Chain A
Amino acid sequence: MALLKATDLKIGYSNNVVFENLNFTVNAGDYLCVVGENGSGKTTLIKGILGLLQPYNGQVEYSDGLSRNHIGYLSQQQKLSKDFPASVSEIVMSGFLNNRIIAFNYTKQERNEAMRIMQRTGVDSFRKKSFSELSGGQQQRVLLARALCAAKKLILLDEPTSALDPLATAEFYSVVKALNKEGMAVIMVSHDITSAVRNASHILHLSSDSYFFGTTHEYMHSSFGSRLLISDCPCDACAHNTKRGGREDA
């Protein structure tokens, strides 16, 4: 069942159209990776899905009971002020607020859930520390924990690993993968095409004049995918494909 359906989407900002005629769907349990060159509109698309940007044309439909307050979001650029006085647990818990009308205090259930999420993302050891005292990678994990508190059916991650070291990146991917296995739909913007095809069920590749949307398998055999992936695909369908073996040329 489709959670999210984009039809004839045309989005931009300040009167610049970033892309148009974009169509794709995300079903419950899907893991969609959005890839593409810098400036191809990946972050713009995420903002469009979240309703932070109004599309010029077309629409993003939520269905299957999905609404804004079932979505978790981890943004790319941290516009957050460096010296904001807030503890890690204050920030993580604020992820729950989208499901509350009056939020004077958090329930015991929410506290336990937050604790579980903080353990899972490895931030529980410094949950009483101030956000401003943490390193970039630690801050990123705190914001992931907050996104997990907010996410009920769908989580959007915009280049979540850009501030992480290789080990933390691998851990991050495994947390997301496990989450996806539990039934959470994932939309992730990534530059890391190799791990994108390893983890994702679907790929959306944006490029300046066209795009690709399909399953990871279809992607690997498409002109988009085969151009960027070095791996020699053993499958029969690829046997006749002359591999160019080029790296990302963006």
Chain B
Amino acid sequence: MLDIFRYPFMVNALIVGILIAVCCALLGVVLVLKRYSMIGDGLSHVGFGALSIAAVLNISSPLYLSLPVVTLAAFFLLRITENSRINADAAIAVISSSALAIGVFVASINGTNINLQQYMFGSILSVGKSDIIISVILSVFVIAMYLLFYNKIFAVTFDEDFAKATGLRTGFYNTVISLLTAITIVVGMRMLGTLLISAMIIFPSLTSMRVCKRFISVVITSVLVSVFCVVSGLLTSFTVTDVPVGATIVIFNLAVFLVFLLISAIKNAAAKKNK
């Protein structure tokens, strides 16, 4: 087992993986509770489009293009979700499939040797040396911002009207949330893949909400679940050859979710019996 530490790419993957796991879990709680789950999905598709274009343009690190593009998309998506007159579901679906189509189109027309499958489903190897530093900095930034604004993020998530009415700058905190989401998705999708990164955001918080009833315990449990799944997924995909890491991590998330679901069902049944 300790073999893995002899492979630098595996060490990189573990470091970046754990950091991404923490970011995804922290933001996932907010996005799920704010009913913004689909925004994560939409943004990852926009990220895919940006990655393809970056590859065609030969940009040294694709993060330089995908980060600003996804951040812009995050602000935009949050705005349409706030404006109830537009059907946000439909808008997100349109944007995400358009971005996906543009990405595939650009990649194919150019005939470059972009490995589409690698973008779709992620790869451990995709975390290169130049990326790891940016990824670590960005993830640490996300975690620090989240901790700094933790209570305000709670207030904006729980009851935005009250927060605004009593003088909290809700627009600012929503912007912070969308910026952090954009960063997390851009950094995470290289390893997890476009199609699976949103599972990383949604699963841990859904899982912890089965059993936790306080906000702080949901956040902490989500982080633990998320890190556990990423580490187990990475180790499994390393020991079993040709298993894509993204899929393995999502399967672990699904398994833990089912376990928590079972626990909550047993708890509820026991509570009913006691009555």
Q: Could you tell me which A residues sit within 8 Å of B by CB distance?
A: 50-52, 67-73, 75, 79-81, 83-87, 90-91, 93-95, 97-98, 100, 102-106, 129-130, 132-133, 146-147, 150, 156
Lowest 10 A-B CB distances belong to which pairs? A68-B167, A69-B167, A130-B213, A103-B151, A50-B165, A87-B214, A73-B165, A98-B167, A98-B166, A150-B166
* Chain B residues whose CB sits within 8 angstroms of the CB of A80 once the complex forms: 158-159
CA distance A13 to B17 in the complex (A): 47
Q: Could you tell me which B residues sit within 8 Å of A by CB distance?
A: 33, 35, 147-152, 154-155, 158-159, 161-168, 209, 212-218
* Chain A residues whose CB sits within 8 angstroms of the CB of B166 once the complex forms: 68-69, 71-73, 95, 98, 150
CA distance A67 to B162 in the complex (A): 15
* Chain B residues whose CB sits within 8 angstroms of the CB of A97 once the complex forms: 151-152, 155, 163, 168
- Beyond the given pairs A100-B152, A106-B151, 16 more chain A to chain B contacts, judged by CB atoms under 8 angstroms and listed by A's residue number, are A75-B161, A75-B162, A80-B158, A81-B33, A87-B214, A87-B215, A90-B214, A94-B159, A98-B163, A100-B151, A104-B147, A104-B151, A129-B213, A130-B213, A130-B214, A156-B165
CA distance A81 to B32 in the complex (A): 11
| A84 and B167 contact, Cβ closer than 8 Å, known pairs A97-B151, A104-B150, A132-B213 | no
CA distance A249 to B243 in the complex (A): 73
| A83 and B209 contact, Cβ closer than 8 Å, known pairs A90-B154, A104-B148 | yes
* Chain A residues whose CB sits within 8 angstroms of the CB of B215 once the complex forms: 85-87, 90
* Chain B residues whose CB sits within 8 angstroms of the CB of A73 once the complex forms: 162, 165-166
Residue of B nearest to A78 (CB): B159
Contact sample, A vs B, 13 pairs, CB 8 Å cutoff: A73-B165, A75-B161, A84-B158, A85-B209, A85-B215, A86-B214, A90-B216, A91-B158, A94-B154, A94-B159, A97-B152, A104-B148, A133-B213
CA distance A70 to B166 in the complex (A): 7
* Chain B residues whose CB sits within 8 angstroms of the CB of A146 once the complex forms: 162
* Chain B residues whose CB sits within 8 angstroms of the CB of A71 once the complex forms: 165-167
* Chain A residues whose CB sits within 8 angstroms of the CB of B163 once the complex forms: 94, 97-98
CA distance A94 to B152 in the complex (A): 8
CA distance A97 to B167 in the complex (A): 9
Min CB distance B206 to A, Å, is 11
**Most chain-B Cβ atoms within 10 A of its Cβ — which of A84, A85, A86?**
A85
Min CB distance A146 to B, Å, is 7
Q: Are B150 and A51 in contact (CB under 8 A)?
A: no
* Chain A residues whose CB sits within 8 angstroms of the CB of B162 once the complex forms: 73, 75, 146-147, 150
Residue of B nearest to A128 (CB): B214
Min CB distance B99 to A, Å, is 29
Q: Are A94 and B158 in contact (CB under 8 A)?
A: yes
* Chain A residues whose CB sits within 8 angstroms of the CB of B167 once the complex forms: 67-71, 98
CA distance A225 to B166 in the complex (A): 32
Min CB distance A191 to B, Å, is 21
**Most chain-A Cβ atoms within 10 A of its Cβ — which of B35, B164, B217?**
B164
Min CB distance A99 to B, Å, is 8
**Most chain-A Cβ atoms within 10 A of its Cβ — which of B148, B163, B212?**
B163
Q: Quick one: which of A70, A75, A86, A129 contacts B158, CB cutoff 8 A?
A: A86
CA distance A80 to B33 in the complex (A): 10
**Most chain-A Cβ atoms within 10 A of its Cβ — which of B35, B164, B214, B216?**
B214
Residue of A nearest to B162 (CB): A73
Min CB distance A71 to B, Å, is 6
CA distance A120 to B85 in the complex (A): 41
CA distance A176 to B151 in the complex (A): 27
CA distance A102 to B217 in the complex (A): 21
